[in-house]
Amino acid sequence: MAVINKANKANYAKSRQSFLCLLIWLVFSLSLQAAVLEEDRADVLYHSYDGGGMKIDGPAILLRKKASESVALSAYYYVDTISSASVDVLSTASAYSEERQEGQLGIEYLHDKTTMALSIRQSDEDDYLANSVNFNVSHDTFGDLTNLSLGLAFSDNEIRRNGDDLFEEQSQQYRIRAGISQILTKNLSIALNIESVADEGYLNNPYRTVRYIDSSVPAGVGYQSEVYPNTRNSFSTKLSASYYLPYRAALFLHYRHFSDSWKIDANDIELSYRHPFGKTVELELKVRYYQQTQASFYSDLFSHQNAQNFLARDKELSDFDDLTLGLGVTYLIPKQFSISDWRSEVSLQWDYITFNYNNFRDPTAEAALGEEPLYGFSAHVIRAFFSVYF
Amino acid sequence: MLTNYFTRALFIAFSTSLLALTGCAQPIEPWVKPYERQNLADPIMRTNRHPIANMHIAHVYEARESARGAEGTGGGGCGCN
């Protein structure tokens, strides 16, 4: 037995040495060609989300232009027009509508094989203002077979409550991420990305309530505000693979695992397939499955008022799964119909998402308290956009 | 609070760099040459072919699901509940 252990140890040491050699060369090998910035482009998009009593739509614009061979500038503007009568809003409040605007400005600097990107972002709505800054650095190495990246982000958020001028809360979010992408064969590349997110401050939704059994009132149910912890830390790992099929088509696979300090564990897996027809049409099919466990302080119905320190009945913190089926078509506009001979294309993408909640009951249903049917809904998500490369 | 999650992220992110200090005797050559990468360079292979659409779908999922991070699209706070 001792001999076997010794042999195993020797094999382990050998394989560990090979693994170390591979990693070191991935990180530090010299490369031979300079990288280039991505091409200039402009995208104009209309987006729409319709499901679960919520309708959200609006435009978005993305511009990207090289100022020189080593500097590129980008700007992004996005609008959400929201009208909500979702199940949790209807059970304790009335339908509302609001608008959210988001703007981003970014600069990218390329030096040899290293790209540095800095962006600032603001998201503004009646009761929520988020300002964030984001920095990424990526480096091509190992004969450009490997790309390493590292990123940091900080967001400062101001939370208000409509109809209550005295309410004002703050929260901050810190993100750190790293990634490695690797060409494995002439047709296959893979990527591993990790990201840690830490939140602190006021993390509740200021409008949402939990429900509890209250025998002192005729309805038998009472409501109180949600109480969340003031911190949340999470860690995500995503593994992706892209494969070129011999008849010129592409297959993409993504798997992500997520866990956080609120005891939520989640997994999602996505498979998509892109297939060109002739020189002008591309078809894309997608299927994605997501599943999560519930937060440790979530309950659909608490046994009494102030049942525990932290209280939540947000369905996004409950145990649920969702399935997305997606279809996309891109039409590459022939050059003779393009502006100034610029290459351009028009795309339409449609996603159908079904959500199934395993511990969130529909409080609007006619049934005894705590015995209502489990909630579920479906949503249609549409993106129509025009892209031009100049 | 920068607790275990950040420690884990930092450890994985920098461990490869620390390994370089140990040195290595047998270099590995890049095995896919630049002239063999035309398939991977084909526009249909670009995961970020439609960045504006990717940003939208990432936002939709972040608003409806608890998982966040590692999407590859940046991310950031919003009151999108």
DSSP B51-72: HHHHHHHHHHHHHHSS--S-SS
B7 within some domain: no
Of residues A280 and B74, more confidence is placed in A280
A251: closest chain B residue by CA: B45
In this predicted structure, what is the pLDDT of residue A11?
Answer: 52
pLDDT tens profile A163-217: 899 999 999 999 999 999 999 999 999 999 999 999 999 999 888 999 999 999 9
Contact between chains at A233 and B1 (C-beta distance less than 8 A): yes
| Interacting residues of A102 by C-beta distance below 8 A, sequence separation 6+ | A76, A77, A78, A79, A80, A121, A122, A123, A124, B78
Q: What is the ipTM of this complex?
A: 0.88
| Interacting residues of A182 by C-beta distance below 8 A, sequence separation 6+ | A26, A145, A146, A147, A189, A190, A191
Q: Of the candidates A22, A183, A381, which has its C-beta nearest B28's C-beta?
A: A22
Of residues B17 and B81, more confidence is placed in B17
In this predicted structure, what is the pLDDT of residue A22?
Answer: 47
Q: Of the candidates B26, B42, B64, which has its C-beta nearest A244's C-beta?
A: B42
Q: Above pLDDT 90, what percent of chain A?
A: 81
In this predicted structure, what is the pLDDT of residue A95?
Answer: 77
Contact A292, A356 (CB under 8 A): no
| Interacting residues of A38 by C-beta distance below 8 A, sequence separation 6+ | A64, A72
pLDDT tens profile A231-269: 999 999 999 999 999 999 999 999 999 999 999 999 999
Write out residues 144-203 of A within 8 Å (CB-CB) of B.
144-145, 148, 150, 153, 155, 157, 159, 171, 173-180, 183-187, 189, 193-198, 200
**What domain count does chain B have?**
1
Give the relative orientation of helices B4-19 and A2-28 as an angle to the nearest 10 degrees: 80
| Amino acid at residue number B11 | F
Tokens of A208: 């949402």
Place of tokens 């109809």: A163
State the DSSP string of A47-101. EEEEETTEEEEEEEEEEEEESSSSEEEEEEEEEEEEEE--HHHHHHS--EEEEEE
B17: closest chain A residue by CA: A27
Write out residues 326-355 of A within 8 Å (CB-CB) of B.
328, 330, 347, 349, 351, 353, 355
Tokens of A204: 């509740």
Map residue A340 onto helix, strand or coil. helix
B28 within some domain: no
A178: closest chain B residue by CA: B13
CA–CA separation, A16 and A272 (whole Å): 35
Question: Which residues of chain A are modeled with pLDDT < 70?
Answer: 1-34, 89, 92-93
CA–CA separation, B40 and A185 (whole Å): 9
In this structure, the dihedral spanned by the alpha carbons of residues A198, A203, A209 and A215, taken in order and rounded to 10 degrees, is 70
Contact between chains at A268 and B67 (C-beta distance less than 8 A): yes
Chain A residue numbers with beta carbons less than 8 Å from the beta carbon of B55 are 60, 62, 76, 78
B26: closest chain A residue by CA: A21
Q: Which residue, A374, A384, A380, is CA-closest to A51?
A: A380
**Chain B: closest CA distance from residue A122 (Å):** 9
Query: Which top CATH class is A31-389?
Result: mainly beta
Contact between chains at B70 and A195 (C-beta distance less than 8 A): yes
B52 within some domain: yes
3-state helix, strand, coil in chain A (%, to 5): 10, 65, 25
B80 within some domain: no
B45 within some domain: yes
- Domain span at residue B52 reads 34-65
